[in-house]
């Protein structure tokens, strides 16, 4: 029964609450559960995956998504399209230029250990999006 699978999986997924100021974006949240949707939810039809995903949105996030897609309804979109739309709606507010500038300005803090610094550099380099640089 798909609803039982959805209920079971939903218990393992934390609700998404958008907070761009603290880098809590949909892409960051979804990356935590990507394998769950790809592997554990693989037996579900696309529409059931969409229902599971939307069930884990906070009330303001759900309302914003539903309002954005009007006059269509969530069942009109594939799971992949829904994920892409949510990533664009609940993404970082910072411009690409600003992210790239911040990456180029990074330096190790005196109190920061090398592993933490390397993690920060890695994250900023990914956000730099070198492949799209023109």
First to last CA, the chain: 49
pLDDT at 36: 94
Q: What is the 3-state secondary structure (H, E, C) of the chain?
A: CHHHHHHHHHCCCCCECCEHHHCECHHHHHHHHHHHHHHHCCCCCHHHHHHHHHHCECHHHHHHHHHHHCCCCHHHCCHHHHHHHHHHHCCCCCCHHHHHHHHHCCCCCCCCCHHHHHHHHHHHHHHHCHHHCC
Asked if pLDDT for residue 8 goes beyond 80, the answer is yes
Mean pLDDT of the chain: 91
pLDDT at 71: 96
pLDDT single digits (tens) 73-107: 999 999 999 999 999 999 987 778 887 888 889 99
Q: What percent of the chain has pLDDT over 70?
A: 99
Asked if pLDDT for residue 125 goes beyond 90, the answer is no
Q: How confident is residue 21, by pLDDT bands cut at 50, 70 and 90?
A: confident
Q: How far apart are CA 69 and CA 85, in angstroms?
A: 9
Asked if pLDDT for residue 116 goes beyond 90, the answer is yes
Give the closest residue to 61 by CA, choosing from 93, 126, 53, 97: 53
pLDDT at 131: 75
Look up tokens 């109190």; give the residue: 111
Q: How far apart are CA 18 and CA 22, in angstroms?
A: 9
Q: What are the structural domain ranges in the chain? A: 2-89, 96-132
pLDDT at 16: 97
């Amino acid at each position: 029964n798909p609803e039982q699978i959805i209920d079971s999986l939903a218990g393992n997924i934390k609700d998404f609450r958008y907070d761009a100021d603290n880098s809590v974006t949909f892409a960051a949240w979804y990356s935590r559960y990507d394998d769950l949707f790809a592997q554990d939810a693989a037996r579900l039809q696309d529409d059931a995956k969409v229902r599971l995903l939307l069930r884990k949105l906070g009330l303001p996030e759900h309302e914003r998504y539903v309002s954005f897609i009007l006059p269509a309804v969530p069942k009109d979109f594939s799971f992949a399209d829904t994920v892409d739309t949510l990533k664009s709606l609940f993404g970082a507010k910072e411009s690409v230029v600003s992210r790239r500038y911040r990456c180029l300005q990074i330096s190790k803090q005196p109190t920061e250990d090398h592993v933490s610094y390397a993690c920060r550099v890695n994250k900023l380099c990914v956000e730099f999006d070198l492949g799209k640089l023109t």
